[in-house]
Structure 1
C-alpha cells in the first residue's frame, strides 16, 4: 500500500501559489465531486452540474491569488459554485421568458392574421353580392385607385352617378359585413 501524504486545503493552496502544480491537481481531485453534487442540488442535471463545477474551477484558479485566508478555501470555493449554479438558473429563466414572450407574440400575430383574413373573406363575399355597377365602382376606386373623374370617363356616366354608386356600395358593404 502506498503512503499518501494528506495535506490540508490551506497547505495545498499555499503550495500551488508557490508554483506546485500537483497541489492544484490534489485540490481538484478532492473537491471536484463535492462541487458537482452542490451544483446538482441546484440544477437537477448531472451534465449541467459538471459544467458548472468546471466553470467554477476556472474562476477558483484565476482568483486563488485573491483568497486572503487559505483556511477559508472550502467555503470560498463553495460560494463560487453556488453563484455559478444560480447564474445558470437565472440565465435559463430569462431564456424561458423570452421563448414564452416569443410564442405569445407569434400566437397574437397568428390570431391577428386570421382576423384580417376573415375580414378579407367577408369583404370579398360581400363585394360579390353587389350589383355589377357597384362592383365596378369599388374596384376602380379602391383597387385601381382611380379618381372620380377617371371613373366617370371610363364608365361614361356623370361624376354624380359615380359618387352615388360609390356611396350606396359602401352602405351595402357596411350592412352586409355587420
Structure 2
C-alpha cells in the first residue's frame, strides 16, 4: 500500500512539473477503480463511466493544487464519490418530479383500439421499463426536452441519453406488439 502511494506521489509530482506522460500512467492506474467506485454507488455502468470521466476533468484541473501528492488516491476517490452522490441526488429529484405524473391503471371501457385505450396500454408498458429508460422517454416525449438537455439534467453523455432512448423505444415496441 505504501509503495502504491509512493508511485502515485511521484506521478502527481511529475504532472505538476509539466510532464504530461505521467497523466496517462495515472489514468491507466486509476480509471478502472473510479468506474468501479461510481458503479458501486449508482448501479449503472454507463453512468459510472460518465462519472469517472467527469471526475478526471476535475482532477486534471485541480491536480496542480494537490499539496500531498501521495494522497492522490483518497483525494481522487473523494471526487468520484462526490460526483456519484451529485448524480444520485439529481436523479432522485427528477424521479420525484416524474412520479408526480402518477400514471394510474384504469379500467378500459372503450374499444381496444381507441385513442384512450392505446394511451393506457402505452403507459402500462412504460411502467415496466427500467427507471433510467422511463426517465429519458418521459423527458423526451412528455416534457419535449432535447437529448442534449436530458444529458445535462441527468448528468450523462448525449450518447448515453440516445442509447437509453433507443433501448426504451425497442422495448416498448416489443411490449406493445404482444
Aligned to 2:9: 10
CA–CA separation in structure 2 for the residues paired with 1:41 and 1:100? 25
The structure in which a higher percent of residues are helix is 1
CA–CA separation in structure 2 for the residues paired with 1:20 and 1:9? 14
Quote the offset at 1:81 in angstroms: 0.3
Aligned to 2:19: 20
Unaligned stretches of 5+ in structure 2? 1-5, 105-178
Greater RCO (Cα-Cα under 8 Å, separation 6 or more) = 2
**RMSD between aligned alpha carbons?**
1.5
Name segments (4+ residues, structure 1) moved above 6 Å. Answer: none
* TM-score when normalising by structure 1: 0.53
1:45 aligns with 2:28: no
Quote the offset at 1:91 in angstroms: 0.5
User: Which residues in structure 2 correspond to 1:1-178 (within 5 Å)?
Assistant: 8-101=7-100, 103-104=101-102
Tell me the SS of whatever aligns to 2:28.
helix
Which deviations, in whole Å up to 9, do the C-alpha atoms of 1:125-155 show, x marking residues without a partner? xxxxxxxxxxxxxxxxxxxxxxxxxxxxxxx
CA–CA separation in structure 2 for the residues paired with 1:27 and 1:81? 15
CA–CA separation in structure 2 for the residues paired with 1:37 and 1:74? 14
- In the alignment of these two chains, the number of paired residues is 99
CA–CA separation in structure 2 for the residues paired with 1:86 and 1:48? 12
